[in-house]
């Protein structure tokens, strides 16, 4: 593994909700510092936060980034497709997060930051335990709010359908388009997805290089705009890494956009020696652990569990940060607006970072760290 930057160390915490949880930390030299917890997404690692951890620690925080359940050096999770999928549901992931905070000796954190799939997890942490997570920064994936329940039906009013966590995707209509398509989150929920990426012809490092490239600001086709509605025709305007060709897997989808050797050499935010950290990790674990998060999120059984929190909002201070070239915040029409109007009652800002796509904390770490510190100082 590439040596960590000086000032960042690697440790483990045993007995965290059945996990031996691996994490990176900075600002550990002085006890009693307020804790910042950073939650990564897919396909990422604790290592994805390496570029912002030291600036945040320099501001006086104990900064902690775990390899989440299903990832990296964390063990104790079931990576079989037919295994304990329910352990990857949101409420159990919240339990993982609280367990780590307590294992570190903190009764609460000063702030919780989540990127990609770590963003909805951070949001649910703030919904369920605002006393432990009194400030939350959501990155790249907006939180549209808690599920709704049928209201007023005892008086004869018609019940509005309560959408699943990822919404009512028009799957049949996507498949029926002249260029048949499918939604990547449901593809990620299939049995084939892990092997498609783990055993792809180009190899895991090349697959990851292309995947990271096409979702970054380095790919010139990333010019996001808001979709008008939830129709197949509108969804088909998204890049193929979100709305895939029906008969292609993800490795096949991104392969044509593999950056050239010159582009790779010019990629300062992810040089080959840092990409190798991801390649080695996913070669060892495969992708099924991370994919199980999608399986829980797209399964109505686990969405129904979250209806216990119907009507709850995020009432702690919050902020949203994303790269200006990131399609993630706009991939689900209306979610960004719903987050600001209903999901978060004390949102202090929505910030778009120039020169960044989906991997904002890696592509533009200085700007990301500055926005996070400004937010924390305002809470």
Both 18 and 117 in one domain: the answer is yes
Q: What percent of the chain has pLDDT over 90?
A: 92
Say how far apart CA 19 and CA 74 lie, in whole Å.
Answer: 7
Whether 266 maps to a domain, the answer reads yes
Residue ending a domain, among 256, 289, 322, is 289
Same domain? 283 vs 306: no
| Count of Cβ atoms closer than 10 Å to residue 260 Cβ | 8
Measured distance CA(129)–CA(309) in Å, rounded = 12
44 and 89: one domain? yes
Q: Whole-angstrom Cα distance, residue 330 to residue 236?
A: 13
**Does residue 153 lie in a domain region?**
no
Q: What is the pLDDT of residue 163?
A: 45
Confidence of residue 164 (pLDDT cuts 50, 70, 90): very low
The mean per-residue pLDDT over the stretch 347-370 comes to 98
Among 267, 289, 311, which residue terminates a domain?
289
Residues 285 and 312 placed together within one structural domain of the fold: no
Structure tokens at 365: 């770490």
CB 94 within 8 A of CB 112: no
The dihedral over CA atoms of 90, 185, 340, 135, expressed in degrees to the nearest 10, equals 40
> Are residues 318 and 371 located together in one domain of the fold?
yes
Asked whether the predicted pLDDT for residue 162 surpasses 60, the reply is no
What would the 3-class secondary structure string for 16-67 be?
Answer: ECCEEEEEEEECCCCCCCCEEEEECCCCCCHHHHHHHHHHHHHCCCEEEEEC
User: Are residues 184 and 101 both part of a single domain?
Assistant: no
Q: Is the pLDDT of residue 156 over 90?
A: no
Is the domain of 280 the same as that of 315? no
For the chain, counts of helices (H) and of strands (E):
16, 10
Backbone phi and psi for residue 219, each to the nearest 5 degrees, phi listed first: -85, 115
- Does 306 reside within a domain? yes
Q: Taken in order 75, 76, 77, 79, is the CA torsion positive or negative?
A: positive
Q: What are the tens digits of pLDDT across the range 243-295? A: 999 999 999 999 999 999 999 999 999 999 999 999 999 999 999 999 999 99
| Domain end (from 255, 289, 323) | 289
How many C-beta atoms lie closer than 10 Å to residue 15's C-beta? Answer: 11
Assess if residue 343 is contained within a domain: yes
Domain co-membership, 306 together with 365: yes
Q: Across the chain, what does the average pLDDT equal?
A: 95
Residue 80 has pLDDT above 60, yes or no: yes
At residue 160, the pLDDT reads: 57
**229 and 253 together in one domain:** yes
Contacts of residue 252, Cβ cutoff 8 Å, sequence gap at least 6? 196, 200
**Residues 306 and 260 grouped into a single domain:** no
**Rounded distance between C-alpha atoms, residue 173 and residue 177, angstroms:** 6
Strand partners, 111: 36
β-strand 35-39 against 62-66: which pairing, if any?
Answer: parallel
DSSP classification of residue 130 = T
Cβ distance 40 to 86 under 8 Å? no
C-beta separation of 258 from 210 below 8 A: yes
pLDDT digits (tens, 9 = 90+) for 298-348: 998 998 899 999 999 999 999 999 999 999 999 999 999 999 999 999 999
- CATH at 97: 3.40.50.1820
> Do 285 and 305 belong to one domain?
no
For residue 1, pLDDT over 80 is answered with no
Residue 235, pLDDT above cutoff 90: yes
Residue ranges making up the domain that contains 226: 166-289
User: Taking the CB of residue 61, how many other CB atoms lie within 10 A of it?
Assistant: 23
Look at residue 55 and tell me if it is in a domain: yes
Domain count, the chain: 2
Q: Could you tell me if residue 155 is inside a domain? A: no
Pair 57, 183 in one domain: no
As a three-state string, the secondary structure of 242-268 is: CEEECCCCHHHHHHHHCCCHHHHHCCC
Does 51 map to a domain? yes
pLDDT of residue 3: 79
Asked which of 166-180, 244-258, 364-378 is least confident by mean pLDDT, the reply is 166-180
Q: With bands split at pLDDT 50, 70 and 90, how would you rate the model's confidence at 159? A: low
Q: Is residue 311, in this structure, part of any structural domain at all?
A: yes
Backbone angles phi, psi at 326, to 5 degrees: -100, 120
């Amino acid at each position: 593994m590439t040596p960590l930057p000086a000032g960042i160390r690697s440790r483990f915490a045993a007995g965290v909700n059945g996990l031996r949880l691996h994490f990176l930390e900075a600002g550990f030299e002085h006890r009693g510092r307020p804790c910042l917890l950073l939650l990564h997404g897919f396909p990422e690692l604790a290592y994805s936060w390496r570029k912002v951890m030291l600036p945040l620690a320099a501001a006086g925080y104990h900064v902690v980034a775990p390899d989440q359940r299903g990832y990296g050096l964390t063990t104790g999770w079931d990576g079989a497709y037919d295994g304990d999928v329910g352990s990857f549901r949101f409420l159990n992931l919240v339990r993982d997060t609280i367990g780590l905070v307590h294992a570190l000796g903190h009764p609460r954190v000063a702030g919780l930051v989540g990127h990609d799939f770590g963003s909805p997890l951070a949001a649910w942490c703030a919904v369920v335990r605002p006393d432990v997570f009194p400030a939350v920064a959501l990155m790249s994936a907006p939180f549209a709010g808690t599920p709704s329940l049928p209201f007023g039906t005892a008086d004869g009013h018609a019940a509005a359908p309560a959408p699943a966590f990822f919404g009512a995707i028009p799957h049949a209509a996507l498949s029926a388009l002249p260029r048949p398509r499918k939604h990547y989150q449901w593809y990620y929920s299939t049995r084939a997805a892990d092997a498609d990426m783990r055993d792809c012809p180009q190899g895991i490092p090349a697959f990851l290089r292309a995947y990271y490239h096409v979702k970054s600001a380095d790919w010139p086709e990333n010019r996001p705009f808001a979709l008008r509605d939830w129709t197949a025709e509108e969804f088909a305007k998204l890049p193929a890494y979100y709305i895939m060709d029906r008969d292609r897997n993800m490795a096949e989808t991104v392969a044509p956009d593999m950056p050239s050797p010159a582009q790779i050499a010019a990629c300062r935010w992810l040089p080959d020696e840092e990409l190798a950290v991801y390649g080695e990790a996913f070669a060892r674990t495969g992708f099924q652990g991370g994919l199980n998060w999608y399986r829980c999120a797209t399964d109505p059984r686990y969405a129904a569990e979250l209806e216990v929190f119907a009507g709850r909002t995020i009432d702690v201070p919050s902020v949203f940060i994303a790269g200006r070239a990131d399609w993630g915040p706009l991939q689900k029409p209306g979610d960004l607006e719903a987050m600001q109007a209903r999901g978060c009652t004390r949102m202090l800002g929505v910030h778009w970072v120039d020169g960044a796509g989906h991997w904002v904390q890696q592509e533009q770490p200085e700007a990301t760290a500055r926005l996070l510190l400004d937010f924390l100082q305002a809470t």
